[in-house]
Structure 1
């Protein structure tokens, strides 16, 4: 799909796809890191796919100017979209930032930019490890 075609989807539709993409990347990374019981893998994955972690990832990407202009635009569209309701365990700003990140991953996936998605995932994963 072209970038132009992918931009025709709403930011929340992109986030819907991006949520699955980000979670799959997390699960794959955890599985390849260590062979452990599924319950433990799930607990570890939940810590990485939560709004708090994703919001800190957005902050890191923005502070270090690691996104192209187009990627930044997609992230901001997702972050600023209407209809975002934060769950009780995160703030509205965290949830909005996480939605922006998920929109970006959904966009990259639909455009077939899997290497770029993997690159950004590696960056936020490693940044999260440094902060832990």
Structure 2
């Protein structure tokens, strides 16, 4: 599979699944077991608003490489058929950029980089 040629929405599709699974694994490892509690806590990380805020933090603190920024922009600027349910268009596009980055790093098998960024996300999420 030619990863670099994938469009932003495809990368975001993969990234959404990977990020959601990582967050769910993290919350279960913390000992949460009730589905309604797990769902509520998960949304705090995987909502468009949360993902956009994580991406803003990465960008404000210059934590992303030039290559990663290209992927974020590809995701952010991609045309989607989806309509954001609980977010404005800019927030939704930023979250798509975040998910595209996650999908790209996953498909590139950059586990160490994903782990670094995930640790930052978890630290930010724990402060909420």
TM-score by length of 1: 0.90
In the TM superposition, 1:52-131 aligns within 5 A as 52-83=49-80, 85-130=82-127
Q: Where do 4+ consecutive residues of structure 1 move more than 6 Å?
A: none
User: Residues of 1 paired with 2:84 and 2:75: CA distance?
Assistant: 17
User: Residues of 2 paired with 1:25 and 1:40: CA distance?
Assistant: 16
- Give 2:21's aligned residue: 24
Q: Is residue 45 of structure 1 aligned with residue 42 of structure 2? A: yes
User: Residues of 2 paired with 1:53 and 1:84: CA distance?
Assistant: 21
Q: Deviations over 1:21-67 (max 9, x none)?
A: 11011001101112331221122112211000000001100000001
User: Contact 1:60 / 1:127 at 8 angstroms: preserved in 2?
Assistant: no
Please point out which of 34, 44, 48 is paired with 2:31: 34
Q: Runs of 5+ in structure 1 lacking a partner? A: none
Displacement, 1:84? 5.5
Q: Runs of 5+ in structure 2 lacking a partner? A: none
User: Residues of 2 paired with 1:35 and 1:42: CA distance?
Assistant: 10
Count of residues in correspondence between the two structures: 128
Query: How much is the aligned-residue C-alpha RMSD, in angstroms?
Result: 1.4
